[in-house]
Structure 1
């Protein structure tokens, strides 16, 4: 069975990309596909705790993110550079994700058979 890494690059309020990435990961997890989810660029904002999605008339993605382990998706990664560039620290994140530097990101991409960027 081929493994797949989904790279989520959109903020939760920037359009449908964040939700679509989560939908793909949850569907794949339901079928026991070996999956990983990487939050990159503005996608790191999906991990921030206490978002007020309703203020932007958006659906809160927090519940979907917290359901990932229930679907067998336990490999969550985040770009350390993307966090730093956006001034985000570990204490602001709602979910634990493995922070990776640029060299580790390259190794991560090589580890998966397929990579999908959304």
Structure 2
């Protein structure tokens, strides 16, 4: 049986290549039926914000990649509740349904996966 993988995305979509790389890993793993989840933490929650305008900062739009996650079998999507609150985001402002977790749930989530990659 394949080991499970949790991808933690901590970077805003416009702060460099890390956000895109995390999504690429998730999509590739999902295509090969790897059991995986994705956690948006810290500025990574900005990836979930609806109605982004990446052209204004000369960046590529990650919305299509995010929307493709469930189609590739990546259905375990999580966000840190504290990260969302500190950045003024709530579930209604997100472009993708995620399970919002508190600190205790974050700890349990990370412990549940065999391997963790943070970008």
Taking structure 1 as the reference length, the TM-score comes to 0.99
Counterpart residue number, 2:51: 50
Counterpart residue number, 1:32: 33
Q: Secondary structure at the match of 2:29?
A: helix
Shift of 1:36: 0.2
Q: How does 1:1-118 map to 2 (within 5 A)?
A: 1-118=2-119
Question: Gapped runs of 5+ residues in structure 2?
Answer: none
Shift of 1:87: 1.2
Question: Gapped runs of 5+ residues in structure 1?
Answer: none
- Mapped to 2, the partners of 1:56 and 1:23 lie a distance apart of 21
- Mapped to 2, the partners of 1:93 and 1:70 lie a distance apart of 18
Shift of 1:70: 0.8
- Mapped to 2, the partners of 1:63 and 1:85 lie a distance apart of 25
Shift of 1:90: 1.3
Taking structure 2 as the reference length, the TM-score comes to 0.98
Q: Secondary structure at the match of 1:37?
A: strand
- Mapped to 2, the partners of 1:88 and 1:67 lie a distance apart of 22
C-alpha offsets along residues 2-27 of structure 1, whole Å, 9 cap, x if unaligned?
00000000000000000000000000
Shift of 1:91: 1.2
- Mapped to 1, the partners of 2:58 and 2:88 lie a distance apart of 25
